Structure 1
Amino acid sequence: MNFVKRAGLSLWARRGRALITLATFLAISVMVLAGVLVDDATARAELAAKRSVGAEVNLDVDMSQLADTGQLQAPRIDAATVDRIGALPEVQSYTYTIWDRALLTGRDKLVDGGPKDPMGPGGTVGMGVLDSSLLPDFRSGRSTLLSGEHITAADQEKKQLLIEERLARRNGLKVGDRITLTGNDEKTTGKFTVGGIYRDPRPTAEADAEYGISPANMIYGSVGGLSALDSAGDGPRKVGKATFVLRDADGQGPFKSGAKRIAGSALTGFKLDTNDKALQQMTGPLGGIRSTATLAMWLMGLAGAAVLALLVNLAVKQRRTEYGVLLAMGERKNRLIAQQALEIVAVAAVAVGLSALFTPALTQSAGQALLGREASAAERKLDSWQPPAPGSTGIYQGIDPDDRPVENADPIDRITVALGPADLATVGGVGLGIGLLATAVPAASVLRLSPRTILTKGK
C-alpha cells in the first residue's frame, strides 16, 4: 500500500491521539506566531519612530576630556571643516553655532525679571546659527516659530535675527524691523533685521542652563552677521558646536568615520554623540512588550515541544508491531520514516493554518493591552519629572537636567499587527522542525532493529 494512503488511514484510525497532537501543535503555533507578530509590529513602529525623529549626531565639547587635560578654554573648530563634514553622503542637512556676548543699543531694552545678567547691563547671548530650524529646541518642538522665517544657509552672510516674542513685545518689534547690536568690544556695531519671532516656553526668570541668561533675551543670528561684530579680525570662522541630521539612522558609523577622517586632530576636545533621547523615550514601551512576548513564546514553545516529544515517543513505541509486520513484508525503513514524517507534517499544517485564522486578532488585542500599560507607566514617569528651581542647577536636589523629557516625543502607545507570508513560513518551519525532531529520535531507535527482534521482543 502506498505510504501516503497509509499515513491518512493511520491518522483516521488514531484520530483521538491525532487531535491531542493537533492541540499541542496549535498551542505551539499560536505562541510562536504571536511572538513573531509582536516582534514585527514593534520593529515597524520603531522604524516609523526613527523616520519621524531622524538620526541626529551632535558635535559638542567633550567636558571630560577638557578636565583630564586641564584645558580651561573650550575648543573651537573651523567652520570650513564643519562644511566638509556636512558634505558627506550620509548627511541630509546640518547646522552649526557660534556665540558671543552682544549688547542691545539705542532704544531697545532687555526683558525685565530675568536672572541677574552675568554679562553685564544690556548684555545678551547672540548665537549665530547656520540653520535655526535644525536647532534641538526647534526640532523637538519646545521652541516654535510664530512669524517670519527661520535663518538658513542662504542667509549666513546677511544680518538676520530671530528674537523671542517677549523681547519683541518689550520693544514693540515685528518682522522686518531693525535692531542695533554692539559686539563684545563694546565698539563694533551692526544693524540687523528681525527675520522671525519665536516662542520659548521657559519662564523669564529661569536661567538658561548653558548661558545663564533669561530665555526671553536669547537672540539667534546669521553666522556671518554676528561674526562681523567680532573685532578680533577676519580670521577663519570658528564653531563651538554643530548638529548633523543623517539620511538614515544606520549611517551613523560611516558618518563618524568620515568626520574623523576629514577633521583629524581638529576634533580634539570634541565628541560626536548620537542624540537618540527622543527615540528612546518614544520606543521604551515597545521593548517591554517585546521582551514579555518573547519570554512567553519560548516558555510555551519549549513546554509544547516537550509534550509533543512525549506523545510522539509513546505513539512510536505503541506501533512497534505495525513496524515489524511492515518490515517483514518487505517495506523499506525510509518509507516508514517518511510515513511518520508525513503524519506529523499533515497535523502541523492544519495547526499552522488554524493559528493563522485567529492569532493576529488575538495578538493585536493582547499586544495593545500590554503596550497601553507600558506606555501609561512611561507617561507617568515623564510627567513626574520637575525642573530645578530658577537659578538652581538641581544637583543638590538630586535633579539631573539631562533627564528632562523631550517634548513632542510621546511614548508609542499603539502597534498594528499584520500577518505576512514570512511569518507563516517562520511558524511552519519551527513547528515542522520540532515535529520532525520529535519523530526522528524514537523512530530511529525502533527501526534500527530487525523485523524479527521487533516482533519477538514485544513492547
Structure 2
Amino acid sequence: MNFVKRAGLSLWSRRGRTLITLCTFLVISVMVLAGVMIKDATARAKHEAKRSVGAEVNLEMDLKSLGAGGALVAPQISAAVVDELGASPLVQKYTYSMFDRGVVKGGTELVTGGVDAAASGMGPDGTPTVGVLDSALLPDFRSGNFELLSGAHLTAADKDKHLLLIEERLARKNGLKTGDKITLGAHEGKATADFTVAGIYRDPRPSSEPEPEHFVNPANMLYASVGGFAGLNAPADGSLQVRKATFLLSDADDLGRFEEEAERIAGSALDGFALTTNDKAIRQMTGPLNSISSTAAVAMWLIGIAGAAVLALLVNLAVKQRRKEYGVLLAMGEKKGKLIAQQALEIVTVAALAIGLSSLFTQSLTQSAGQSLLGREAAAARHKLDSWQPPAPGSTGIDQGIDPDDKPVENADPIDSIDVRLDLAALATVGGVGLGLGLLATAVPAASVLRLTPRTILTKGK
C-alpha cells in the first residue's frame, strides 16, 4: 500500500483527532488571514488618504540659523528659484508669499476698535499686506477657517496683476464689493497703484484678537497678487524676492524625493531656510487605522503562536501514539522517508482544507469585526478632536496646559471605514504560514521516533 493511500485511511480512521487538528488549523488560518486582510485594507486606506490630502512641504525661515554671524535679517529667496521647484512633476500646486506694508489711500478707512495700530507697528493709514501667488493654498483657506464670500481666489495667472482679497469687515465699512478699486501706496517712497478687489473673505477672529503671525487687526489684513504688490517696493535689480513658500505634492510618498530635488535645484539659495513637512492632516485621518492595524497584528501573533503550540502538541502526541505502527512498517521494509512523507501529507491535507474553509467566511467576518473596531477608534479620535479648546486670546496656551500644535486640522476627519478584500496574495501568505507550521510540527517529533530502529520501537513500546 502506498503512503498516499495510507495517509487517507489514517485521517479517516482517526476522525476525532483529525477534527481537532482541523479546528486548530482553522483558528490559525482565520486569525492570520484576518490580520493580513486588515493590514492590506488599512494600507490601501492610508494610501488613498495620502493621495487625497497630498503632502504639504513648507519652505520657511530656519530659526536655528537666524542670528548666525551676527545677522538678524530674515532670509529671502528668489521667486524664480521657487518657480523652478514648483515646476517639478512631483508638485501638484505651489504658492509663495511676501509680507510688507501698504498705505491705503483714496479715502479707504481701516477697521478700528480692535488691535491698537501703534501696537502693530502700523500708522493710521497703513495695513499689513501679504503678496501671495495662490491664495487658495494659504493654510487658513485650505483648512476652511477662512471663507471666500464673493469673487475668486488669486492664482498664478494673476501674479503680475493688481488684485486684492479683503476681509468682509473692511469691505462693509467702506462699502466695497468685488470689482471696486483700492489705491495702495508703498510704505517707503511715493509709488502708488490701483488694486481691484478680486474677492471678499471672512476671518472668524474678532477685531480684538490679533492676527497671530503679524499681530495686527485681522479685519485689515489684505492679500494681494504677489507681483503687482511687489512692484510698489521693487528692489533695485527688479527681482522678486519671497520669504516663504508652500508646495502641495501629488503623493505624500514623494516627500523624500522632493527634498532631494529641492537641494539639487536650489542649492545654496536654501541657506537660512528649512524644508518642513506638514503631514498633520494625514496623521489625524489615519490615526484610527494605525490603531486597529496594531491590534490586529498583536491578536494575529498571539493566536497564531498559541495555535502553533497546540498544533505541535497534537502532532507530537499523534506521532508517539503511532510508534508501533511505524515500527511494523519499518520492519516490513518501508523507508523512513515515506513514513515522514505520509505524516506530512496528512498535515498538509488538513491544513489545505482549513485554509479553504477559512477563505469562505473570513472576509465577511473580518469586514464586520474590523469595521466595528475602526468605528470605535474613529469615534474616540473624533471626540478628542472635538474636545480640544484653543487658548485664550493673547495667550500661548502653555500656562493653561494647551499645546497650540495640537489644534485639529479642519476637514480631515478620522477615517471610519475600510474595505476588506480577499486576494491571492493574502491566501498565499496564510498558506505559507499554515503549511510551514504544520511541516515543522511534524518533522521534529517524527524525526525523534524514526531515528530509532524497528526493534527498539517495537520492544520498548511507548
What range is the shorter-chain TM-score in? over 0.9
Q: Quick one: distance in 2 between partners of 1:222 and 1:135?
A: 13
Aligned residue runs from structure 1 range 100-139, under 5 A: 100-117=100-117, 118=120, 119-139=122-142
Deviations 1:406-430 (A, max 9, x none): 1101111222222222111111111
Deviations 1:241-267 (A, max 9, x none): 001122222221121111112222221
Deviation at 1:206, TM superposition (A): 2.0
CA distance in 2, matches of 1:431, 1:314: 19
Q: 1:318 to 1:120 in 2, by over 3 A?
A: same
Point out the more displaced range, 272-281 or 168-177. Answer: 168-177
Q: Is residue 2:145 matched to residue 1:145? A: no
Whether the aligned pair in 2 keeps the contact of 1:126 and 1:220 (CA below 8 Å) is yes
* Aligned counterparts, 1:196-207, within 5 A: 196-207=199-210
User: Contact conserved, 2:94 with 2:134, CA < 8 A, in 1?
Assistant: yes
Stretch moving more, 368-377 or 308-317: 368-377
Q: Which residue of 1 aligns with 2:364?
A: 361
Pairing partner for 1:327 from 330, 336, 341: 330
In the other structure, the counterpart of 2:314 is: 311
Aligned-partner Cα distance in 2 for 1:326–1:70: 91
Tell me how far 1:70 sits from its aligned partner. Answer: 5.1
Corresponding residue number in structure 1 for 2:93? 93
Unaligned runs of 5+ in 2: none
Matched residue, 1:61: 61
CA shift at 1:221, angstroms? 1.0
Q: Is the 8 A contact 1:188 1:231 kept in 2?
A: no
Report whether the alignment pairs 1:191 with 2:194: yes
1:232 to partner: Cα distance: 4.4
- The one-letter amino acid paired with 1:3 is F
Query: Which one of 229, 235, 238 corresponds to residue 232 of structure 2?
Result: 229
Distance 1:177 1:234, change over 3 A: farther
> 1:10 is matched with which residue?
10
> Where does 1:429-444 land on structure 2 (aligned, <5 Å)?
429-444=432-447
The answer for unaligned runs of 5 or more in structure 1 is none
- 1:168: which partner in 2? 171
TM-score, normalised on structure 1? 0.95
- Are 2:234 and 2:240, in contact at CA under 8 Å, matched by a contact in 1? no
After superposing the two structures, state which structure 1 stretch, 225-234 or 281-290, moved more. 225-234
Q: Which residue of 2 aligns with 1:45?
A: 45
Q: 1:235 to 1:395 in 2, by over 3 A?
A: farther
The corresponding residue for 2:401 is 398
Partner of 1:19: 19
Q: Is the counterpart of residue 371 in structure 1 residue 374 in structure 2?
A: yes
Displaced runs of 4 or more, over 4 A: 67-70
Distance 1:82 1:227 in 2: 16
Shift of 1:280: 0.7
C-alpha change, 1:227 and 1:293, in structure 2 (3 Å) is: same
Distance 2:254 2:238 in 1: 33
Does 2:281 align with 1:283?
no
Quote the Cα distance in structure 1 between the aligned partners of 2:303 and 2:218: 56
Cα distance between partner residues in 2 of 1:401 and 1:322 = 74
Letter in 1 for 2:439: L
CA contact (8 A) 1:185 1:231 kept: no
Q: Output the CA distance in 2 between the equivalents of 1:204 and 1:386.
A: 20
Task: Measure the CA separation in 2 of the matches of 1:394 and 1:188.
Answer: 42
* Distance in 2 separating the partners of 1:160 and 1:314: 84
1:164-184: per-residue Cα shift (whole Å, max 9, x none)? 222222222222111111221
Q: Secondary structure at the match of 2:246?
A: strand
- Cα distance in 2 for residues equivalent to 1:202 and 1:49: 30
Question: Which one-letter code corresponds to 2:423 in the other structure?
Answer: G
1:154 alignment partner in structure 2: 157
Q: TM-score, normalised by structure 2?
A: 0.95
Compute the displacement of 1:365 (Å): 2.1
Query: Would the aligned equivalents of 2:170 and 2:220 in 1 still touch at CA under 8 Å?
Result: yes
SS in 2 for 1:161: strand
The 10-residue stretch of structure 1 (237-246 or 376-385) with the greater mean CA deviation from structure 2:
376-385
Structure 1 residue 68: Cα displacement: 5.9
Aligned to 2:83: 83
Query: Secondary structure at 1:203's aligned position in 2?
Result: coil
What amino acid does structure 2 have at the position aligned with 1:4?
V
Asked if structure 2 preserves the Cα contact closer than 8 Å seen for 1:159 and 1:192, the reply is yes
Secondary structure, counterpart of 2:193 in structure 1: strand
In the other structure, the counterpart of 1:243 is: 246
C-alpha RMSD of matched pairs (Å):
1.7
Q: How far apart in 1 are the matches of 2:194 and 2:217?
A: 23
Cα displacement (A) at 1:110: 2.0
Per-residue CA shift, 1:223-282, capped at 9, x if unaligned?
111101115434321111001122222221121111112222221221101110111111
Change (3 A) 1:403 1:69: farther
1:229 match: secondary structure: helix
Amino acid at match of 2:13: A
TM-superposed CA distance for 1:291, in Å, is 1.1
The 2-side partners of 1:208 and 1:298 are apart by 52
Alignment: residue pair count: 459
- What SS does the aligned partner of 2:89 have? coil
Is this contact kept in 1: 2:51–2:250, CA < 8 A? no
Inter-partner Cα distance in structure 2 for 1:362 and 1:319? 38
Task: State the Cα distance separating 1:146 from its structure 2 match.
Answer: 2.6
Aligned 8 A contact 2:292 2:373 in 1: yes
**Preserved contact between residue 77 and residue 241 of structure 2 (Cα < 8 Å):** yes
Does the aligned pair in 2 maintain the 1:103–1:186 contact within 8 Å? no
Deviation for aligned residue 1:216: 2.4
